[in-house]
């Protein structure tokens, strides 16, 4: 899946997203992010502003979004993969230990 923006971080304070797909209308990230920021929701990067072009027909086109930067521990995909890998490794280790307990000759190899 191709990303629809290019993000550039400015220090530890903010991120600028330059949108690659410019569509008419209010951008969902502006609408939702703006609402959550205005109501003080702490679980998102706060919306700091946007750069938009307004067409001759009066329709806005968001070109760029500026958000606060939130330090994080990665993305959900890598978090999921890490947890699955750890779970599989734990299961293999537990099965190996159970097998060693059943056969004295395997226990002697330790």
Q: Does residue 49 come out as left (phi exceeding 0), alpha (psi in the -120 to 50 range) or beta?
A: left
- Domain shared by 63 and 14, yes or no: yes
Number of structural domains (the chain) is 2
- Domain shared by 48 and 28, yes or no: yes
- Domain shared by 63 and 12, yes or no: yes
Q: What is the 3-state secondary structure (H, E, C) of 42-106?
A: CCCCCEEEEEEEECCCCCEEEEEEEEECCCCCCCHHHHHHHHHHHHHHHHHHHHHHHHHHHCHHH
**pLDDT, position 98:** 65
For the whole model, what pTM was predicted?
A: 0.63
- Domain shared by 37 and 12, yes or no: yes
Average confidence (pLDDT) over 83-91: 92
- Domain shared by 63 and 80, yes or no: no
Task: Examine the pLDDT at 74 and tell me if it is beyond 90.
Answer: no
- Domain shared by 59 and 80, yes or no: no
Q: Give the range of the structural domain holding residue 87, as residue numbers without chain letter.
A: 76-108
Average confidence (pLDDT) over 67-78: 84
- Domain shared by 11 and 48, yes or no: yes
């Amino acid at each position: 899946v191709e990303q629809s923006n290019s993000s550039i971080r400015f220090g530890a304070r903010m991120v600028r997203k330059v949108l690659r797909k410019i569509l008419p209308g209010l951008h969902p990230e502006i609408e939702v992010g703006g609402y959550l920021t205005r109501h003080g929701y702490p679980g998102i990067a706060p919306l700091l502003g946007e750069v938009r072009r307004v067409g001759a027909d009066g329709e806005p086109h968001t070109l760029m979004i500026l958000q606060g930067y939130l330090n994080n521990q990665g993305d959900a995909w890598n978090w999921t993969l890490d947890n699955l890998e750890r779970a599989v490794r734990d299961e293999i280790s537990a099965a190996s230990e159970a097998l060693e307990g059943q056969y004295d000759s395997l226990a002697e190899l330790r």
